Structure 1
């Protein structure tokens, strides 16, 4: 058996290492001696004996994966991180889980202050110093391990570009460059200069270490640090919060000690008898595994329609998100012919005080079961969807990857789950403000990829509703998806 880097590790040692990580026992090597540090109650005589027996293998693994002693902490990843790690390994398109932003910076840029800010940022947030390795485990396959490294000096040179065409080529190259999960950092910043007052900063990050909430917080912290260093002051203090590894450890402990059993029972009852697969009228059958190849279809609705949709939401005592989600579910029911639709929705998972300010990959999904045929009209559907969303929020905390195997075999998805997803950011992504710089941040997406079969992402701005439909070309042709988008926008316009 081998680890991620190809170094041998026997099953017994791999099992021991997994146990050490579960109990927060950290290993290191000093002068060829194996050192350990962990909770006193976890270091039992039996464990010490096993450590002595496996010392040689553990020292070899530690020096092989961390020859310069950079690793500060190791632990098992959170369940959603493990899921993404496995999906990334099997994805045919290596950039499918890359998230990217383009920052247009207009005005005088203090590049020295920006470099200081980036290094402060790196030191302040453990998730930015994370990487993965893995070991073979007794249950078969590989167990990913999350590692946090000590801070390093991060360079940020300015790369001159001759014109807009050269800039677009450079942005395309960065966004479509794979991010290997075993090599830190799992993000990149590249700064381009068109002239003295026009710069573009491109930020790419692997989704396994950063969710949407975290990206917004990291963005704001980087801007605040830049402004502080430029003005000769210190950045605002970062609130003390749980680290990604400690969060994952608490999640594993909750699972092992049965604290998720009540949630599991709730969701098994809630999903009883319903098929989780969406039976799309697709152009091609569902393969055993998606290749990761896909495309994006962009669409928009005017500011006038957006205003009317807000009025509809107000009239129904609801929100824009619930109204748009109800329209999306209506469209899915039409194109699958299913009376009931199960659509997972994203939740930030920051309900507890200790997690409120956390930065990392905490977000997961909860399954929303909607009886579309049972709603007498769109207003009734909106009320049902709203009720289901609030129910789901009250019962979040169970990783989806733990729920799926507990379902009866006949209900489990045939392939990867979810097959479809919907996200709407309403006023969530506002551009940072600065007295000297005009900052405009726009999302970028790798070309030719899709995380799932059908993913709709929408956001609002002053021009109206902007939408992106990411779809798997393993299953759909563009004309088919265009017809669905046309129907979706037709529904939204009709209910506005």
Structure 2
């Protein structure tokens, strides 16, 4: 691992490791300023197509065209409107989430972390999907509501900001481009105990849609505008994230050659706690990435149990008040936490 110097190209390094005569690791070391998760999928897909002898259709635009558009007057006007939206959303005293921790918060933020993986069973997954269909919501919105209820239960707070990444490719012409498009949204919700889950989900839905519509506004500028008090032991605006990954790992077959993602050990936590969901082999797979300077594995086990308990209760009684939702897991044959042996 070597640091990149942004003023000196290249910002991409590629290496090949031979493990055996018929097994190799092809590594891409890229600075995040020139790529994101979607970019990696594009890179692998086009690599495989070229390896198979295909010719790629020339791109209609380049990333530099996107960069020029970002500096245009029309885009500046659009950002002014979006700035007003975000300043309205984040007005007043901003909440600082206080989850119970096993260790005292370090004076300087630590990135030491670990990941706990689990599976949301078929019964719960179908229940979540049914709620989404019945309310005109998305699975993302339903899971965000469940996650913020979990955070509310552990913190006792009814004003919670959760960060979430957004793909940022708002125009079809951007879909085939490699580059850094991902943005960060600070989504503020109010899980008050007297609300029913359906009422709260409707609020989450409207808040999420508003955030999506105003996703172009740069997060760094928003932090400056709301004048967050900086603490070396915390992130600005929020310390927890929610990530729903709807990009599948790619496995390609070229004759006798198979190309698949190489799984790596994960020991970094960018935030105090990140709840993530992805879909793998027909399963709804979840994970909690957590800071090991704050939480122990047993505490995160409890987060998982609590989240599954919340999901069970909102699927069975979606009109239940948040105050009546408990963290006690409902035991049945399909309600166990299944740990799975893969990394993201």
TM-score, normalized by length of structure 1? 0.56
Q: Can you list the C-alpha shifts for 1:436-465, whole angstroms capped at 9, x where unaligned?
A: 24444365344x321111112221123522
Q: Please name the residue that 2:38 is paired with.
A: 213
Query: In structure 2, do the counterparts of structure 1 residues 354 and 314 end up closer, same or farther at CA, with 3 Å as the change threshold?
Result: closer
Tell me the residue number matched to 2:338. none
Q: Secondary structure, in 3 states, of the residue corresponding to 1:429?
A: coil
Do structure 1's residue 291 and structure 2's residue 110 form an aligned pair? yes
Counterpart Cα distance in 2 of 1:490 and 1:217:
38
Tell me: CA distance 1:193–1:474, structure 2 relative to 1, closer, same or farther (3 Å). closer
Listed one character per residue, the Cα deviations across residues 17-37 of structure 1 (whole Å, up to 9, x for unaligned) are: xxxxxxxxxxxxxxxxxxxxx
What is the aligned partner in structure 2 of residue 123 from structure 1? none
Which residue of the partner structure matches residue 323 of structure 2? none
Q: Which runs of 5+ in 1 are unaligned?
A: 1-93, 99-130, 134-144, 150-183, 229-233
Q: CA deviation at 1:383?
A: 2.0
Q: Could you tell me whether the CA contact under 8 Å between 2:115 and 2:287 is conserved in 1?
A: yes
> Relative to structure 1, is the Cα distance of residues 219 and 435 closer, same or farther in structure 2, using a 3 angstrom cutoff?
closer
Could you tell me which of 46, 56, 60 is aligned with 1:240?
60
Query: Does structure 2 retain, via aligned residues, the 8 Å contact 1:375–1:381?
Result: no
Distance in 1, matches of 2:233 and 2:297, equals 24
Q: Does residue 190 in structure 1 map to residue 190 in structure 2?
A: no
1:340 equivalent in structure 2: 159
Structure 2 spans left out of the alignment, 5+ residues: 316-344
Q: CA deviation at 1:202?
A: 4.6
From the superposition, tell whether residues 206 and 337 of structure 1 become closer, same or farther in structure 2 (CA, over 3 Å). farther
8 Å CA contact 1:254–1:260 kept in 2: the answer is no
Offset of 1:339 from its aligned partner?
0.3
Give the distance between the partners of 2:110 and 2:232, measured in 1 at CA.
17
Contact 1:350–1:358 (CA<8 Å) still a contact in 2? no
- The alignment yields a C-alpha RMSD, in angstroms, of 3.2
Whether 2:167 is the aligned partner of 1:380: answer no
Determine which of 25, 34, 49 is the counterpart of 1:224: 49
Deviation at residue 370 of structure 1 after TM alignment: 0.8
Say which structure, 1 or 2, has more relative contact order (CA 8 Å, 6+ apart): 2
Judging changes above 3 Å, is the alpha-carbon distance between structure 1 residues 132 and 246 closer, same or farther for their aligned structure 2 residues?
farther
For the residue of structure 1 that corresponds to 2:5, the secondary structure is: strand
Alignment deviations for residues 118-147 of structure 1 (CA, whole Å, 9 cap, x no partner): xxxxxxxxxxxxx533xxxxxxxxxxx4x5
Kept in 2, the 8 Å contact 1:310–1:320? The answer is yes
Counterparts of 2:51 and 2:93 in 1: how far apart (Å)? Answer: 51
Work out which of the residue numbers 391, 395, 399 in structure 1 matches 2:210: 391
Shift of 1:209: 2.7
Question: For residues 425 and 442 of structure 1, do their structure 2 counterparts lie closer, same or farther at Cα, with a shift above 3 Å needed?
Answer: farther
Q: Structure 1, residues 200-247: CA drift from partner, whole Å, max 9, x if none?
A: 54545443332122122222111211112xxxxx4222423232x554
Match of 2:5 among 129, 132, 138: 132
Cα 1:217–1:248 change in 2 (3 A) is same
Question: Compared with structure 1, are the counterparts of its residues 257 and 371 closer, same or farther at alpha carbon in structure 2 (3 Å cutoff)?
Answer: closer
Partners of 1:429 and 1:214 in 2: CA distance: 13
User: Structure 1 residues 457 and 186, CA, compared in 2 at 3 Å: closer, same or farther?
Assistant: farther
